[in-house]
Structure formats: C-alpha cells, structure tokens
Structure 1
Amino acid sequence: MKKIIAAIAIALFLTTGVSAQIQYRPLPAEWENLIPGGNFMDRILPMPNGKLSKNVWGDKGVIPRFVDNGVEDDTISWWGGNIIKESENKYHFFLCGWDEDNPGGHMGYKDYSMMYHAVSDNSIGPFKVIKGLGGGHNTEILQLKNGKYIIYHVTGHEVEKHCNYLISDSLNGPWEKHTFTMDNRDRELRLGGGNWFHNLSFTKREDGSVLMLSRQGSIWVSKTGTSPYELITTKCIYPMVAGKYEDPVIWKDHIQYNAIVNDWIGRTAFYLRSKDGINWIIEDGRAYATGVAVHKDGTKEDWYKYERIRILQDGYGRAIQANFAVIDANKHEDLPNDNHSSKNIGLPLNPGMLITIENKLPFNVKTKEIKVRIKGEENFNPITEIDVETLRFGASSEVNYGRGAIVKKVVPEGNDLIVIFEAKNHCIDEDEFAPKMLGKNKKGEMIFGYARLPWVNFIEPILSARKPLFKNEQLTVVVENHGQIASKQTFLTVYGYGENGVEEAWGEVKVPALKAYGKEELEIKLDKNLAKGKEYPVVVKIMSRTVKPILFNITIIKK
C-alpha cells in the first residue's frame, strides 16, 4: 500500500486547478490488476427496476432514470441523509434539501438547507416526505444504547453553536434540539483539513458508546452518544496524499469497523477498515466513482457527482445499500428554475458471505491447512452456488489481486460449507486481524467475505495522554482509557532527541490499571539536563504489546 500511496502523491502533485469542481487524478497503475471484488465499489449492484421516466429535469446523461428510486421532485434539491429501518418494516429516511428556485441555486444549501423525514415500505423507494424538521444540513440518524434517536446536522460554522443534534424517543418525534460538546483533549483540530465539524459520521461500539469520524479524519468517542465527544487520535486516518477529503462515513459490522472517505474534487473515494476504530488499513482500489448507477439492462444514470454516501446495514451490520446525494451538473451550474438539480439515490450492495476461521491457533510455518466455514443463509446455499476453484483466502492486499491461498478441498456440513485452503501464500502477518475470501459463484458473480482471526482481541483498552504540562524539570500528564475494558498496568515513556538527532528515553513512569473511561494524573521526572530557554521536542508514548500507541508530540521549554 505504501507504494500505491506514493504513486497517488506524485500523480496529485502533477495536477492543477484545485479551485475547480473536478480535477483529474491519475490512479495507480497497479490498481488495473485488481480482480472483481478488489475494489469496494465492485460490491455495488444494479438498481432495482422502477418507474422509468424521460419527462424529468436533468442533463441528457441522467435521462431516462428511475424517478421512484430514493427521493426526488421538481421543487426541492435533495441532498444527503441516511435510512434507518423500524421494527415494523418501515424505512425512515432523514435527509436534507432546499428549494430548487432558491436564488443561490445549488449553493443555496449554505443558508437554506432544511431537514426532512420520509418513509417507504422498502429501502429503495419511492419515499414519501411526511414532515419537515427545521433548518439543518448533512443529516445522519443514529439510535443510541438507551433507545433514543439522534439526528446529527449542521447549521453553520461555529461548533459551539452549530454542531447540533435532534433527539427523540420515537422516529416520529417530537424532537428536541441540542448542541454537541466537543473536547479536543489538547489535540490539533484541523488534522486533515476541512471546515470544523461538518460532515461527521457515527457508529456504536459493543458497549453502546459511540465512535465518531470527523471530516478531518480524526476519531472521537462519546460514552453515551450525547455526552461530550473526546478526541482520541493525533493523526488523520485518511490516505496521506493530497486530496480534498469530505463526506466520511463509518459503520461497524460483526467483523470490523469500516469507513469510506471521498476526495470530492478528484471524484475518487477510498475504503478503510479497522479492528478497533483507532488504527486503520487503507485498501487499494476505489470505494466508488462516477458511473456506478446502472440499470439491470446496462443503462447508466450518468450523474456528474456522487457525494454523501451513507450505509444501510442488515442484522449482522453488513452494508446492504449505499445511498448517495447525486447531481447532474457542476454545483455552480445548478441555478434557480433551470433544468439541473439533485436527488438522493439508493444502490443495493453485495453484503458478502458470513465466514469464520475454524483454526484455533495462529498460523505459522507448521500450519498445513486453513479451515474456513461459509455459513448457509436463507437466500444463499454455499454448497451448490460457489465456484470453489475461484476462491482465494488471505490478506486483502493479496486476494484483491487474485493471489492468496488456494482451495485444497471442501466439506459440506449441514447448510454450511467448510473450505480447506493450503496454508501457503496467504500473507497473513501480525498486523492482519480480518483476512478476506474472494471468488465467484457459478453464475460468474463476485462473492466475498471477511473473517476474524480467532486469536486476535478486538476489544482492548485505548490509552492516550492529554497534553503534558512542564514545570520544575517535571512533566505532569493525564492518561485516559477510552477503551471498553479495563487496562493492565503499563509504562509511559517520554522520548527526546540527543545531539545526533537519535530518539532517546528521558523519563518513564508506571501507568496503573485504569477502568474503562477512567483516568489518572502522572508525574514524570526527566533524566535530562535542559538548557534554560531552549526548545525541546518530545514524544509521549504509552507502551502496548497489541495496539499501536497514540503518540503525543509537544515542545517543552525550561524557564
């Protein structure tokens, strides 16, 4: 992946015109070798048949189209939002929009975007708008552990006033408006660019706490979802290449955390996954791009831009539908009372197979076979439907390119299929936590699945420090545990740099066991003679055998 990122960086450096609505971004040549299923966007399926119409607004590239897919009409420019399924099999869509004849055209969203509640008997639509919910943009609904619902939205640029949410006991309201409290814990806010706290996305952890991904690519945690959000990471999780990143979405399934972020000016999106929501793997390939809205007969709805992706999940947490805000032209060309506008569409996704690894011990040179169970489901019979010879298993960086372990034999077991792979060429190393299976069914259609490594701990303490205070040759630092379980005793080390620039330990202190969401104030005496008035960059690192430490870099001055 490092070579791929480097290639992207060079390509982006060579491009110009960043003020434009689109910018050509050459993709890494190696991505051409990704097999079906290697790109996240390969999961996007054809649109279900619906009401096909030619007598509608829009550029010729989006005519004809299914007007009953998602939400659209002639009077509102619809934009982003997400769907939540009610127990009574009703689908509730909370999204935003503004009058199409607004004097600002599409850009009228900045001051006039409104929130709406729409419902349907299915996830694709048509959705019927039943209620307006007041001013707000870029909505996202989430059900909390206590059963209440919150609708995140923004109404301006000041987080203290405008990073808002509605809350209710029912999807049908009434709704009360509140403002999130954001605690950056002494960390830099604008890690990955972007404007403050626009375009946040949320997902629940196992204990009901909420993990939030910001537009800037930073990770925050709230114990309840409405209690203060505390910034955990000190680095942006996005690809470390130039890009105008926005519209992140995060979701958690039964295997791992997933995220997608869009380079809106390059019209290329990236897929990431994580064991703990803190440390992320960036997979090669595109998460989505223009041209993915295709009818079953091959007709394409050629929308100019796809933004604000949001995910509908099944009972396992698998992504089964992606909703996009789409527009038929450059946003600045969408004027009041013209033939251009925007809507929200739903595209079904291949949910992937339910697979589990049967081996109990970590793979090593003595491992001869890898046994993987593919679970039979109501509409999926792995015994009869899978083209076994196409299956590959291993690290996603291998199987996405058609490499990985090959099948040795298969054994039916009830409704399930046990696939036994040769324990070769899988490239599953100590950094891998959820290997991937990829192949085809007997119709030639892509099938895939991720499986947890049974010996990997997926719920661990998450220790990080607030900004250390330096006084009288001593550092005082508060360490907090934002994990869902208690931590064991460990050590915090302060590193500085010697005369030759080599990192060296300047002080160490024991960190006691901390309960989940607990904290402790520590004092560290530095084993270093500091010159008065000189600046010294130091790094605070908390030891962990299984989790990459969250580093805190500061500069101290002896006064």
Structure 2
Amino acid sequence: MCPSSIRRPAIRSFLSIVAAFVFSISSTHADIVLLGENPPNENVNDGNFDLVPGWQTHSSPCWTVNAELTKGNHIAGVALGEFRSAGNEITVVESRKLDNIPTYSKPLVGDVFEYRFTAHARYEIPAFVSFSLVFGDHVRLLADDVPVNGGAAPADFYSGDYKVTADDADQGMPFVRISLRTTAPISVSLDDVNLRVLDRASAGPSALNATADESGITLTWSPRGNFADAEHRVYRRSSDAKKFTLLGSANKTHRFLDESIVNGIQYSYIVTRVLDGVESAASPLATARRLDSQPPPAPRLFDAVSLDAEIELAWECDDEDVASFSVYRKTNDELDSIALATGVTKNTFTDITPVKGERNTYFVRAIDHSGNESEPSNTASGRVRAMRGASFSDLILPMPIHTELRRDLWGAEEVLPRDPNNGIEHPEWSYWGGRPVKDDDGKYHMLVVRWPEAALRGHWEWVASTVVHAVADEPTGPYRPTGETAYAYQDGHGHNADVVRLNDGTYLLYSLIHWKPTLLSSKSMRGPWEVVGEMSVEYDAESLGDNREYQVQRNLSGVQLDDGSMLFVSKFGRMIHSTNGLLGPYQVLSDVVQNNKSIPDRYRHSNYEDPVMWRDEVQFHQIINAFLNYRAIYLRSPDGIHWKCDTGLAYTPDCTTYEDGTRTRWHKLERPHVLQDEFGRATHLSLAAIDTVKRQDYANDQHSSKNLIIPLVVHKRLSVQNDSPISSQTAEIRILVHSEEGFDAQTDMNFGSLRYGAAEEVDFGRGSLVVTTEKHDQGLVLVFEGESAGLTEQNFAGKLIGETRGGELIVGFSKLSR
C-alpha cells in the first residue's frame, strides 16, 4: 500500500480502541478432506470452482455436467469462481471420483462423511438443490429438492453428514452429485462444495478462540486427547488474502499471541498439531479484528504531472494501517472541493476529467482499516495541455430543473436529489437508451426500450424488453409514453432501438428483436411502424480473424448516405455498408475500434460497445462507450469509414450536474444517442443511466434505470469562403461564422480568444489567429493567416475554438473547401 511503511506500535492504537470483534467457529471438524477447503493447504478437487479462472462459462477438470440427467439446452459450467446452471430446468453436475487422496483410498464401514456447500438462485424464484453421494451404483440422496434463496437474499448454506454402510464400502470411493432445479429459466449457482471424513486420529485442536486487546490478538485452543505437549503451528490469513501463511509455533502450550497485526484488518486463524513430523488437520476457524479511533497521518502528495487531457497524481504515506485513499479536486471557479474518487487502493491516480483552461488543485486523504480519515495532504496543482473545447465532454452543459430536485425517488444516495422529469423515468419501469428526435410536429419523440421494474430478472429483464414511443414538449423532457408499445410486431419486443431519418424524410427503426437485427419504417415517429425485414450481413470470420459474428447484428447506429446506400456502425465499431437496399446484404468495411491507432494507448484497449453515429454538414461523428471502464470516446470521420479519435473523453459517470450546481454520479452511463437540429448538429446527449451494478438491480428494490437528456454546447456553423481548397500552402483563410438565434456572430465573439486550424493545433492553444473581420449578411467572416493553421493532407476539417464575450465556449468545424 505505502512505499515506505512504518508499522504503528500496537499500544498506540489500542489506547483509542472503539471496538474489537472476536469470532470462533466451533464445530465437529472433519479431518480428511476429499473435496473443498483444506487450510492451510490448497483447495482439494476444485471444490470452490477456482481452478480455471474466467468470466465465460467453461469446464472444470474436476467436475462434469451429466448430460443424460440434465433437462435443458443451456451450457452450464464454471464462471467467476462458481458453477452455474445457466437456466436449465434441471442441471446435474458431478465431481470426479474422489479416489485421489493418498491418506484415504477406501471408505470403511462406520466412517462419517461431512458435507457442506452453498447455493443461490440468480433471482427470487422457486429453486431447489439436491445432494447425493454416489458409491458405484448406490446413490445416497442426502438432501432432496431443498429450497434455495434467490435475488438479493444471501446464498443458502447446506450441511449434513452420512455414515458409510457395508454396501457403500464394497463399492469403493464415491463421487458427489448435485442437482440444481428451477421453475423458470434462471441460473442457480453452486459454490464452496466440501466433503470431509471425520477422523479423530488426525483431527486438529478444537475450540479455537481469538481475542483482541492492547497487546495484539491472543489465540487459545483446546488440544485433543493426550497431545497437550505437542508442537502446534499457527496460521493466519488477512481479510484480503486467499491463502493462510504460517505465523509461528507454540510448544507445550495452547496459547499464542499475534503481535504483528494492523488495526482494523480482520484476521482469520487456524491451528494444527505436529507429532512425529506428521501435521494434523486444522482446528476450527477463529477470526478477530481490533479497531482504533486514531486517524492515519496525512499522505504527502508529489507534484502533479499534466498530460494532454489528464493529470497524474502520486503520493506516499508512511503508515501500513491505510486501507484506501480519497482524492479531491478544486478549480479556480469552484468554492468547494469535490471528491473525485474514493476507495483508491494504489498510491497513484489519474484524473481523466480535469477542467481544461484552469488550474486544477488536488489533495488526498488516507483512510485506515478502522475507517478513520486523515487530515488533507498538501496540495498539488496542474493544468492540462488541451484547451476547453478540445474534447466532446467540454460540450456538456448543466441540466435544467423542470420543477424541483427530489429525494423521494428510487436510487442510491449518489443520484439524489434529482429531477425525475428529465428524460424519461417512472417507478414502475426501467428505461434503457433511446434517440430523441424532433419531428415535423414540433414535438420531441423517442423510441426507448423498457421493462417492468418488478420483473423477475431485475435489470437483466432487458432481454425481454419492449420498445415504447414517448413524446415531450421540450428536448430534455419529461417524455411520456403514448402507448404500451411502439409497434405491434412481435408484441413490441426489441432492444437497442435506434432511429435513422432517411433522405426522403421518413424514418427507419433498427431494433434487435429476438436477437435478430430487424428494420421497421414509418412516415412519422408516432408510427405506425411497418416491418421491412431482417438485415443480412456478409461476415467472413476467417478473413476477419474474429468469430464474433453477432457483433455486426447488435447495437447498430446508422445513417443513409447521399447516394441512398446505408452505413451502420456495429457493436464493437466495425462499419457495415449496403448498396443493395435497406436489408442488404451488408459488407464489413472496417476493423473493431480497439485497432484504431488514432485512439491513445491508455484508452484503446478498453471493451467498447454501444456506438452512436450521426452526420452534420461537415463530417461524421461517433461516440462509443467503454462499458468496463465507465467512459466513452469521441471520433470524427470524413466518410463514416475512416475514423479519427479526438483528444480526451466524450463523457464519464460524473458528467451529470444541474443548473443550481447539484451534482449526481450514476454508477454507469451507457447507450449514448444525440438529438440533432436541422443542420445535423448534436444539441443534446441522451444516455441510459443506472444507479448500481447491473447484477444488483433486482425486482421491487430501490434501484432502477432511466434515460437522461443533457444539453450540449452546439457547434457553430462555419463555411469556407476561399475560392480554392485550404491546404498547408494557403496564405489567408476566410471562414464565415453564421449568426443564428441567440448568437450574433458580429457582436458576441471574443476575437482574441479564437483559434482556427487543424484540431491537433487548436486543441492545444495553437493554430491561426484572427487577422481581420468582414461583415456578412449571414454573420461574420473571420480572416486568419494560414501558415499557423497546421492543416495537412491528413486533415479533412478545420476547427475553431474560442469564447464569447461572456466567456461561453465557441466550438465549430468547417470543411476545407466550399
């Protein structure tokens, strides 16, 4: 944790003790492990399903699904350290035959087997588990269709024992069979399967107790039989460790003092006996924790390192009793500091959202394992190289408050208070993603997906979501549904809905319906929507080196090109194109976005999905979400095929503020869309928002999701006035800035702040300065000297950055020719 740790004396911390927790788990202890936990040694026969790590379903070398007894076609297996039934009606999983234990190769009549395991249903449904020991052709059913908890309830713990019969012993060593049954297609998980043989001869000490006081943690235990004078070994495991380590030995005593503890950390202990060089099984587990009330010393913050759009921080802390750090930031315009991050467990942090154009000042606090917080560190300041306006995130404005901010709503504390009239929100529905569109009736429409908040699978009910039409008088809402579903086809089911306005003014709706990329059309956002059909994509997995064909069918966002052909960006950023009508077949034109070398290395290797693409008078735009890294990037393109990443980020979960300064921080923001004006410019950002981890959003709880609509700084309309295309040889660049409602180009601009040229130049305060201006009946012509613009053959648009006389951001792009 800290580079130069100095452990605080135990006596100092105990003088201010506020609590000490002592636990002893005392039970008849099974001593020959056939399956499961075997402290201080490794888990036996993968009883915890950790032998092969990974989040995708895979097999364990020690467990097999019995296909004959399993009812269902889902692929059950191991993922993230547990066995999952994957939604089969019945899944039967069996351990290997437990004949690989050198100290126990044959069961004896009268031996007692002790078993225990945990099971949990993903959601709150009727689910059941059965447990059997199978000796040859003898099946001993020990737990028969026992109910299993589900949803937010904790996992159930099951245990029992079985005495070996003569018939069992004749059959040799058994294997474990476990049946998981559900009444709905919901996965049931199995974990921590343990099977031991009770054996008094090899049993370890009993009744281990742990007590914390000013001297440390004292362990006492009861020796078994006539072994009081034997050597005993003490093992310890801290709360963040997986394995026990040898702490020390006790000879001819059944007492041990652990003086090497850190306050606030919970420790687990076991004790074994060593006799004639043979080590016994472990004692019962005992845990203890000593709390204190004295805060740790303040960290020492080093100089901040300013990068293009990020600021790196590093610090040291001369104390080992530090659990985490909190990082705070304050800018010139802010009266109070804001907490950028809590629970930081490293001595470094990168601020990926510093305020551009201002000095960002930081300090850090340390939090110890007892929860005490230190005084603030010294401060460190930095200013990023990029200017305000370099990143899409700089365009994000505070949200207006329609009526009031309320706390009597669902949601974690971080998203309260908020305005339920922003976007679309309802306590009975979970909403997820939608593109707002201003239709010819002057209203704002959105085709958004939703599912009942009380639905069985909580957030994961999205697989059965429906598409609903909603309408609002203002772009930020409130949006109200106009019916149960937007279309009658397949009862309105669909997901990832996105709308394309076609060249003839009609609308094309993409919807993933029962996992098929389906298109519907309508003359109005209100419908009726008629089915066009299912899209076809020619996908050659071998030539692309990627067998994930589903990626070009899901999360699509598209535009119709001037020649009538269709262009879509797909789930991972591949572009697909059709010159054969709306349904295709589509051709794959590009690679996944992770292989785009214009994306900085620190962002390129994220898990990207949920792209949105739009086009204005100048260029194509794309935002794509990094769903595991809680951020998104912004790219531009001259043709919708070749993309270039802009500096910084598009948005992060802390981008949601209100006009009165109130901040909210959603756990995750996904499914970006934009509202466009008549010129194609993005005026608002639409985001799906959830307040907790998706798997913790259950039915009928205080968590859910909604759609937010966030106003943006709108790009100024720019037109090149040069007769010849602008190049690196152009001596004078003439750019018309169009006046429009709320903006007078002739009077509102601060000319000294303006920079024009290549984005690589103006984003960092360089580029061409205004030489002179000329009034125009559509606005004002800005004349720039051309040499400093930095425009090369690699640039397809020129960029303008500056401020109004009132300090408001000016950003715009122009083509490089008339």
Task: With the length of structure 1 as denominator, give the TM-score of the two structures.
Answer: 0.72
Contact residue 65 and residue 301 of structure 1 kept, 8 A: yes
Distance change in 2, residues 1:190/1:443 (3 Å): farther
Q: 1:46 aligns with which of 398, 409, 429?
A: 398
Q: 1:297 aligns with which of 640, 660, 666?
A: 660
Task: Tell me how far apart the structure 1 counterparts of residues 506 and 580 of structure 2 sit (CA, whole Å).
Answer: 11
- 2:482 maps to a residue whose letter is I
- 1:273 maps to a residue whose letter is R
Q: How does 1:340-355 map to 2 (within 5 A)?
A: 340-355=703-718
Q: 1:314 Cα deviation (Å)?
A: 0.6
- Corresponding residue SS for 1:66: coil
Superposed CA offset, 1:338-380 (max 9, x none):
1111000101111111112222234567643222111111221
**2:731 aligned with 1:368, yes or no?**
yes
Distance change in 2, residues 1:185/1:429 (3 Å): same
Superposed CA offset, 1:416-470 (max 9, x none):
1111112232110011111100001111111011010117xxxxxxxxxxxxxxx
Who is 2:814 aligned against? 451
Distance change in 2, residues 1:194/1:35 (3 Å): farther
Contact residue 190 and residue 196 of structure 1 kept, 8 A: no
- 1:235 maps to a residue whose letter is D
Q: 1:223 Cα deviation (Å)?
A: 3.6
Who is 1:180 aligned against? 535
Who is 1:493 aligned against? none
Q: 1:209 Cα deviation (Å)?
A: 2.5
Contact residue 208 and residue 224 of structure 1 kept, 8 A: no
- 2:415 maps to a residue whose letter is V
- Corresponding residue SS for 1:74: coil
Superposed CA offset, 1:501-538 (max 9, x none):
xxxxxxxxxxxxxxxxxxxxxxxxxxxxxxxxxxxxxx
- 1:386 maps to a residue whose letter is M
Who is 2:779 aligned against? 416
Contact residue 220 and residue 229 of structure 1 kept, 8 A: no
- 1:165 maps to a residue whose letter is L
**2:526 aligned with 1:163, yes or no?**
no
Supply the RMSD in Å over aligned alpha carbons: 2.8
- 2:709 maps to a residue whose letter is G
**2:408 aligned with 1:55, yes or no?**
yes
Superposed CA offset, 1:81-133 (max 9, x none):
112222111222101011111221111212x2111111112221111111214
The structure whose RCO (Cα within 8 Å, separation 6+) is larger is 1
Contact residue 577 and residue 589 of structure 2 kept, 8 A: no
**2:421 aligned with 1:68, yes or no?**
yes
Superposed CA offset, 1:454-494 (max 9, x none):
17xxxxxxxxxxxxxxxxxxxxxxxxxxxxxxxxxxxxxxx
Who is 2:433 aligned against? 80
Distance change in 2, residues 1:180/1:336 (3 Å): same
Q: How does 1:269-284 map to 2 (within 5 A)?
A: 269-284=632-647
**2:752 aligned with 1:389, yes or no?**
yes
**2:773 aligned with 1:403, yes or no?**
no
Q: How does 1:115-514 map to 2 (within 5 A)?
A: 115-131=467-483, 132=485, 133=487, 134-157=492-515, 162-177=516-531, 178-184=533-539, 188=544, 190=546, 195-223=551-579, 226-238=582-594, 239-240=596-597, 241-363=604-726, 367-454=730-817
Q: 1:166 Cα deviation (Å)?
A: 2.6
Q: 1:28 Cα deviation (Å)?
A: 7.8
Contact residue 653 and residue 669 of structure 2 kept, 8 A: yes
Task: Give 5+ residue unaligned stretches, structure 1.
Answer: 9-21, 456-559
Distance change in 2, residues 1:222/1:145 (3 Å): farther
Distance change in 2, residues 1:428/1:55 (3 Å): same
Task: Give 5+ residue unaligned stretches, structure 2.
Answer: 1-306, 312-343, 357-383, 598-603
Who is 1:35 aligned against? 387
Distance change in 2, residues 1:169/1:413 (3 Å): closer
- 2:424 maps to a residue whose letter is V
Contact residue 631 and residue 651 of structure 2 kept, 8 A: yes
Task: Tell me how far apart the structure 2 counterparts of residues 362 and 173 of structure 1 sit (CA, whole Å).
Answer: 44
Q: 1:193 Cα deviation (Å)?
A: 9.1
- 1:135 maps to a residue whose letter is H
- 1:312 maps to a residue whose letter is L
Q: 1:412 Cα deviation (Å)?
A: 2.3
Aligned pair count reads: 433
Distance change in 2, residues 1:334/1:414 (3 Å): same
Q: 1:156 Cα deviation (Å)?
A: 4.1
Superposed CA offset, 1:303-347 (max 9, x none):
111110101111111111111000111111211111111000101
Task: Tell me how far apart the structure 2 counterparts of residues 262 and 64 of structure 1 sit (CA, whole Å).
Answer: 26
Who is 1:474 aligned against? none
Who is 2:466 aligned against? 114
Task: Tell me how far apart the structure 1 counterparts of residues 667 and 592 of structure 2 sit (CA, whole Å).
Answer: 28
Task: Tell me how far apart the structure 2 counterparts of residues 275 and 421 of structure 1 sit (CA, whole Å).
Answer: 23
Contact residue 144 and residue 225 of structure 1 kept, 8 A: no
Task: Tell me how far apart the structure 1 counterparts of residues 725 and 686 of structure 2 sit (CA, whole Å).
Answer: 39
- Corresponding residue SS for 1:107: helix
Distance change in 2, residues 1:363/1:207 (3 Å): closer
Contact residue 771 and residue 784 of structure 2 kept, 8 A: yes
Distance change in 2, residues 1:358/1:393 (3 Å): same
Distance change in 2, residues 1:176/1:88 (3 Å): closer
Distance change in 2, residues 1:448/1:234 (3 Å): closer
Distance change in 2, residues 1:48/1:99 (3 Å): same
- 2:452 maps to a residue whose letter is D
Q: Using the aligned pairs only, state the percent identity.
A: 33
Task: Tell me how far apart the structure 2 counterparts of residues 376 and 414 of structure 1 sit (CA, whole Å).
Answer: 9
Task: Tell me how far apart the structure 2 counterparts of residues 138 and 278 of structure 1 sit (CA, whole Å).
Answer: 22
Distance change in 2, residues 1:168/1:422 (3 Å): closer
Task: Tell me how far apart the structure 2 counterparts of residues 100 and 446 of structure 1 sit (CA, whole Å).
Answer: 40
Task: Tell me how far apart the structure 2 counterparts of residues 438 and 73 of structure 1 sit (CA, whole Å).
Answer: 40
Distance change in 2, residues 1:281/1:364 (3 Å): closer
- 1:218 maps to a residue whose letter is R
Contact residue 727 and residue 793 of structure 2 kept, 8 A: no
Distance change in 2, residues 1:174/1:218 (3 Å): same
Q: 1:393 Cα deviation (Å)?
A: 0.7
Distance change in 2, residues 1:225/1:57 (3 Å): farther
Distance change in 2, residues 1:125/1:365 (3 Å): closer
